[in-house]
């Protein structure tokens, strides 16, 4: 009995050993797979099946027909030349490129965003003039010039911006003061931002974005979802499994709602030098206010709307279904200047934030600072005209 029990216990220990070693073997296999980068090899075989098949046949022939290796070296040299030529000149290869690729960049004939009239000299017309002093062109600070949209679209956009101001500016600003000068400046800045954004949207190559970015991201997402669905049985855990499947490739904005808002804030700050007036970024309080308004009240709800499954399905139906759109029952609305009514000043009182030219002329200190500012802007001639007209008017009196 003792011998039987010893043999039974020994048999059970022997049978439990492979089961206990299975997780360890699986872990070592995963580590070996990551080190050998088998996924990269699988991806190469899937993209170039014919080339991989020929390479496998040539390797087998070299292994079994090693007597004729001097003959097979001709084929190996040909394969090495083809691979070197493709990797050195192919811009979209999986391997690094050793030469500089030459890509055709189409010339953009659209209008400039921040400087619609260009940066040329007002005297000689040269782009980089070092002879004459730079002069101020007011058109360069008004990107909404010659920018007209439908009156209905303009009214809807103005309503959205008014709601943003009512919900995020006026609740705390009215407790401070009833002066509308600051809000008027904010309206002009928002108009400037929206005008530059629309001009940039007109220059976007939509087919290139769809074929080069959106389709690749969509195929990658579908592949991740398929792999995640194979690992879970219940669809309730599919989202978490998909996030884990992305691994280190998961975008930082998808980690949490807080990270998404933080990412949008940083992205908005990076956009400011390209979409705001030239010296607006020097005002820290204005940039912080615009950052919070745009990131939390404009960009975040817009991304939530675009990420809604109902919106995605509706857009797919529009793109896929080949049916003509419904005919318009109302006549087209007339074109109006972009956000002109929205940017109209509401302040009817004399503002403490703005000095009249009469006050500047009477105080030498203010006049000196104002002249230094106009020198930086290249607009001293504007002040000279105003002073000359004022002196002539005073002499007539």
Which of 350, 370, 386 finishes a domain?
350
Residue 147, in any domain of the structure? yes
Residue 46 confidence (pLDDT) = 72
Per-residue three-class SS string for 75-96: HHHHHHHHHHHHHHHCCCCCCC
Residues 196 and 342 in one domain: yes
Q: Range with the lowest mean pLDDT among 2-16, 233-247, 343-357?
A: 2-16
Confidence category of residue 8, pLDDT binned at 50, 70, 90: very low
Confidence category of residue 159, pLDDT binned at 50, 70, 90: very high
**Cβ neighbours for 151, distance < 8 A, ≥ 6 positions apart:** 333, 334, 335, 336
Residues 307 and 336 in one domain: yes
Q: Which residue has the higher pLDDT, 184 or 328?
A: 184
Name residue, tokens 């931002």.
193
C-alpha torsion angle, residues 236, 240, 244, 248 (rounded to 10): 150
pLDDT of residue 7 exceeding 50, the answer is no
Residue 285, in any domain of the structure? yes
Residues 248 and 311 in one domain: yes
pTM of the predicted structure, to 2 decimals? 0.59
Percent share of the chain, pLDDT over 70: 71
Residue 13 confidence (pLDDT) = 43
Residues 248 and 284 in one domain: yes
Say if residues 336 and 154 touch (Cβ distance below 8 Å): yes
Tens digits of per-residue pLDDT, 274-306? 888 777 788 888 888 888 888 888 888 888 988
Tens digits of per-residue pLDDT, 141-151? 788 888 888 89
Residue 218, in any domain of the structure? yes
Average pLDDT for 179-204: 86
Confidence category of residue 155, pLDDT binned at 50, 70, 90: very high
Residue 234, in any domain of the structure? yes
Tens digits of per-residue pLDDT, 82-118? 777 766 665 554 444 444 444 545 444 444 555 544 4
Number of separate domains in the chain: 3
- Kindly report the average pLDDT of the chain as a whole number: 75
Residue 3 confidence (pLDDT) = 39
Confidence category of residue 263, pLDDT binned at 50, 70, 90: very high
Residue 266 confidence (pLDDT) = 92
Residues 290 and 371 in one domain: no
Residues 34 and 65 in one domain: yes
Confidence category of residue 2, pLDDT binned at 50, 70, 90: very low
Give the C-alpha separation, 91 to 372, whole Å: 51
Q: Which residue has the higher pLDDT, 277 or 227?
A: 227
Confidence category of residue 265, pLDDT binned at 50, 70, 90: very high
pLDDT of residue 36 exceeding 80, the answer is no
Average pLDDT for 216-234: 86
CA angle 90, 96, 100 (to 5 degrees): 60
32 φ/ψ angles, rounded to the nearest 5 degrees = -65, -35
Residues 377 and 335 in one domain: no
Average pLDDT for 17-32: 61
pLDDT of residue 10 exceeding 50, the answer is no
Residue 117, in any domain of the structure? no
Residue 99, in any domain of the structure? no
Tens digits of per-residue pLDDT, 374-395? 777 666 767 777 777 667 666 6
Q: Which residue has the higher pLDDT, 153 or 321?
A: 153
Q: Range with the lowest mean pLDDT among 9-13, 70-74, 78-82?
A: 9-13
Give the range of the structural domain holding residue 50, as residue numbers without chain letter.
28-89
Q: Which residue has the higher pLDDT, 359 or 392?
A: 359
Which of 47, 72, 89 finishes a domain?
89
Residue 1, in any domain of the structure? no
Residues 292 and 371 in one domain: no
Residues 371 and 306 in one domain: no
Residues 252 and 382 in one domain: no
Residues 153 and 229 in one domain: yes
Residue 81, in any domain of the structure? yes
Residues 305 and 373 in one domain: no
pLDDT of residue 180 exceeding 80, the answer is yes
Say if residues 249 and 259 touch (Cβ distance below 8 Å): no
Q: DSSP letter string over 86-124?
A: HHHH-TT-SSPPSS------PPP-SPPSS-TT-S--TTT
């Amino acid at each position: 009995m003792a011998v039987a029990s010893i043999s039974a216990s020994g048999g059970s220990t022997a049978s439990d050993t492979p089961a206990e070693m299975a997780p360890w073997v699986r872990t070592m296999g995963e580590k070996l797979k990551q080190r050998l980068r088998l996924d990269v090899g699988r991806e190469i075989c899937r993209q170039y099946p014919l080339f991989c098949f020929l390479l496998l046949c040539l390797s087998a022939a070299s292994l079994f027909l090693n007597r004729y290796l001097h003959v097979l070296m001709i084929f190996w040299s040909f394969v090495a030349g083809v691979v070197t030529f493709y990797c050195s000149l192919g811009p979209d290869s999986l391997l690094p490129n050793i030469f500089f690729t030459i890509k055709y960049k189409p010339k953009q004939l659209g209008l400039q965003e921040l400087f619609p009239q260009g940066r040329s000299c007002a005297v000689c017309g040269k782009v980089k003039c070092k002879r004459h002093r730079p002069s101020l062109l007011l058109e360069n600070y008004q990107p909404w010039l010659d920018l007209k949209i439908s009156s209905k679209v303009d009214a809807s956009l103005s309503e959205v911006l008014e709601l943003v101001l009512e919900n995020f500016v006026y609740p705390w600003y009215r407790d401070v003061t009833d002066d509308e000068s600051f809000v008027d400046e904010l309206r002009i800045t928002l108009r400037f931002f929206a005008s530059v954004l629309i001009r940039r949207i007109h220059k976007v190559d939509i087919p290139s974005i769809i074929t080069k970015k959106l389709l690749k991201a969509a195929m990658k997402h579908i592949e991740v979802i398929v792999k995640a669905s194979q690992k879970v049985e219940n669809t309730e855990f599919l989202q978490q499994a998909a996030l884990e499947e992305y691994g280190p490739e998961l975008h930082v904005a998808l980690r949490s709602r807080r990270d998404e808002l933080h990412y949008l804030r940083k992205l908005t700050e990076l956009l400011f030098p390209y979409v705001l007036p030239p010296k607006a970024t020097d005002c820290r309080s204005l940039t912080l206010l615009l950052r919070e308004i745009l990131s939390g009240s404009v960009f975040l709800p817009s991304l939530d709307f675009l990420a809604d499954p109902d919106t995605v399905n509706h857009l797919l139906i529009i793109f896929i279904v080949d049916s003509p759109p419904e005919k318009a029952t109302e006549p087209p609305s007339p074109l109006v200047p972009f956000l002109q009514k929205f940017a109209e000043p509401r302040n009817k009182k004399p503002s403490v934030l703005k000095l009249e030219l009469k006050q500047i002329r009477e105080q030498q200190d203010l006049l000196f600072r104002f002249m230094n500012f106009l020198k930086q802007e290249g607009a001293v001639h504007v002040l000279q005209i105003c002073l000359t007209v004022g002196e002539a008017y005073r002499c007539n009196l």
